[in-house]
Amino acid sequence: MTALAPDIRPSEHPPIVPAPPARRTVRRRRHPWRTGMFHASSSLIALAWFAPIVIVVVTSFRTFDDIAANGIGSLPHSFTLQTYSDAWTQGGLFQALVNSMIVTIPTVFLTLLLSAAAAFGLSRYRIPFRRTILLIMLAGNLLPVQMILIPIARVSQQLNVYDTLAAVIAVQTAFGLGFYTFVLYGFMRSIPGELQDAASIDGAGTVRIFFQMILPLTRPALAALGALSFTWIFNDLLWSITLLQTTSKMPTTAAVLSLQGQYVSSWSVIAAATVIAAIPSTLVFLFFQRSFIGGLALGSVK
């Protein structure tokens, strides 16, 4: 008799492989007292930051007699809107706001345009000593402004532009070029060179590449720098009182300063003028808030 051969056909089911052991998740112990200390310290810092703003806003609605009798740091005992009317008429804030816009808007536009063009040339082309040029432009911002106030005022007198808004625009534009070029240089350098090569092959010139390809790609950085430069230029006081002398040409910050008398100061009117002067910068920041935060976040990972 022949022996039956064992059935050695492969099994229809795959072999069972044991699963790897599950990793144990280590849970960090939470310390409630640390969370409480963090929130408490953050609340104190926020309170210390907003306290002067609240005091200025509350003071702007108080009368002069209330402040004179109870002090500027006391609780308000009156409410009036006449302070805003007095600040608008006596302080000449309407003309001052117009002057500030005449200085700020062209300065922001010229500064961003010139700095973008400089950053484009330094980042996209092989210019000899380009890093040295960039460092020299950036080092100009490290020079204390107080050291060159008198020389620039004398130069503006010799050029017959003293006491004109054009002098303020030129100085503000010159002092902003170094920093803005340094920031835009990093953004434009991160743009792939293949995009520019492809545009060149398609027949695009340098000007077209700059305006139609590079500037749209650096829009977050331009928006962030535009919001910053608007705030810095609009709130500037030092160059305004150095290069301007006529009262009707003074910007907003100088007009607010002129409300302080030699012997008597109406703090409620000054506070109202301060609130009015802060409105344009606040609106610009709120309008460009998303682009401003996006530009800073994008620049942190470049």
What is the mean pLDDT of the segment spanning 264-281?
A: 87
Q: What is the pLDDT of residue 223?
A: 86
What is the mean pLDDT of the segment spanning 118-123?
A: 89
CA-based nearest residue to 139, from 182, 173, 102: 182
Q: What is the pLDDT of residue 160?
A: 93
Q: Give CA–CA dist 77/65, Å, rounded.
A: 10
Q: What is the pLDDT of residue 301?
A: 46
Q: Give CA–CA dist 263/109, Å, rounded.
A: 41
DSSP string over 237-284: -HHHHHH---GGG--HHHHHHHTS-SS---HHHHHHHHHHHHHHHHHH
Residue 6 has pLDDT above 70, yes or no: no
36-76 pLDDT, tens digit each: 888 888 888 988 888 888 889 999 999 888 888 888 878 88
User: Between the CA of residue 209 and those of 121, 198, 202, what are the distances in Å?
Assistant: 12, 10, 11
Q: What letter represents residue 273's amino acid?
A: A
Q: What is the pLDDT of residue 275?
A: 92
What is the mean pLDDT of the segment spanning 83-111?
A: 91
* 7-11, 195-199, 244-248: which is most confident: 244-248
Q: Give CA–CA dist 178/114, Å, rounded.
A: 10
- Six-digit token pair at 39? 């929130």
Residue 295 has pLDDT above 60, yes or no: no
Residue 219 has pLDDT above 80, yes or no: yes
Can you say how many angstroms the Cα of residue 263 is from the centroid of all Cα atoms in its chain?
37
End-to-end CA distance of the chain: 84
111 with 177: CB under 8 angstroms? yes
CA-based nearest residue to 242, from 159, 162, 147, 143: 162
149-173 pLDDT, tens digit each: 889 999 999 999 999 999 999 999 9
Q: What is the mean pLDDT of the chain?
A: 82
Q: What is the pLDDT of residue 265?
A: 72
Q: Give CA–CA dist 120/203, Å, rounded.
A: 19
* 8-12, 25-29, 284-288, 297-301: which is most confident: 284-288
Give residue limits of the domains in the chain: 83-300
User: Between the CA of residue 55 and those of 40, 97, 134, 215, 226, what are the distances in Å?
Assistant: 22, 23, 43, 42, 30
97 with 280: CB under 8 angstroms? yes
Residue 266 has pLDDT above 70, yes or no: yes
Residue 189 has pLDDT above 90, yes or no: no
Say which CATH topology domain 83-300 has: MetI-like fold (1.10.3720)
Q: Give CA–CA dist 103/244, Å, rounded.
A: 12
CA-based nearest residue to 112, from 238, 243, 217, 230: 230
What is the mean pLDDT of the segment spanning 242-265?
A: 83
Residue 185 has pLDDT above 70, yes or no: yes
Q: What is the pLDDT of residue 77?
A: 86
Q: What is the pLDDT of residue 203?
A: 82
Residue 127 has pLDDT above 90, yes or no: no
Report residue 302's pLDDT band, with 50, 70 and 90 as the boundaries.
very low
Residue 93 has pLDDT above 50, yes or no: yes
